[in-house]
Chain A
Amino acid sequence: AQTVTQSQPEMSVQEAETVTLSCTYDTSENNYYLFWYKQPPSRQMILVIRQEAYKQQNATENRFSVNFQKAAKSFSLKISDSQLGDTAMYFCAFMNREYGNKLVFGAGTILRVKS
């Protein structure tokens, strides 16, 4: 069974600084997808970034980038130039076709950006 672990329940960062959220996963599959979702206080789930496991290049989306280490089964999210609007719960998630394309979520990390 696939599992996703986020070991940081809560984190805080000063505005304009950089923060890294950790995520590890366990799977025996070779082809899969990894995601980071953001859930702000409105509770609307928002896709932040997606990584295909077969791609070695780390995905980036503006201020958001990942460090994907396939052998180590690690998928961390780096947020640069943190903004107050980045305050949210962040979920790491795993998906693969053999598991019916269902998302497996980690427990989440609450990120607070302080002014």
Chain B
Amino acid sequence: GAVVSQHPSRVICKSGTSVKIECRSLDFQATTMFWYRQFPKQSLMLMATSNEGSKATYEQGVEKDKFLINHASLTLSTLTVTSAHPEDSSFYICSAGQSRASYNEQFFGPGTRLTVL
């Protein structure tokens, strides 16, 4: 099956610093990638959808200047949390979409645990 990696798997940073999370599709090209945020024992909340070569589309309530998304190639998307604060601590998951006949199957990365001190 299709494999998606995320790096780093966990990161601890100081308040006010920026953190970059990478999402890679290892064995397929993903025209669309999705970024989710998940709090403990809760569901996945879609933050944004990114298409290769174009600006990301953010969900309502997600600050685009705080969560910068870049999808520079068909195998790599990055999420940068700028000026991180403790409330940004969370589990971030990416998924990469592979086109099927009539829908876009999503393959998930293993997630990144961000802790902001």
B91 to chain A, nearest CB (A): 7
* Total of A-B residue pairs, C-beta within 8 Å: 47
In the complex, how many angstroms separate the beta carbon of B32 from the nearest chain A beta carbon? 7
Would you call A45 and B93 a contact (CB within 8 A)?
yes
Q: How large is the interface on A (under 10, 10 to 19, 20 to 34, 35 or more residues)?
A: 20 to 34
The dominant DSSP class at the A interface is: loop
Q: For residue B66, give the distance in angstroms from its CB to the closest CB of chain A.
A: 21
Pick from B43, B106, B111: contact of A91, CB under 8 Å: B43
Determine the distance from Cα of A102 to Cα of B103 in the docked complex, in whole angstroms.
Answer: 10
The answer for the CA separation of A89 and B39 in the assembled complex, in Å, is: 13
Binds B, one of A17-25, A76-84, A104-112: A104-112
B110 with A43: CB separation less than 8 A: yes
A100 to B41, CA, bound (A): 27
**Contact present for A43 and B91 (CB under 8 Å):** yes
User: Does A115 belong to the interface (CB within 8 Å)?
Assistant: no
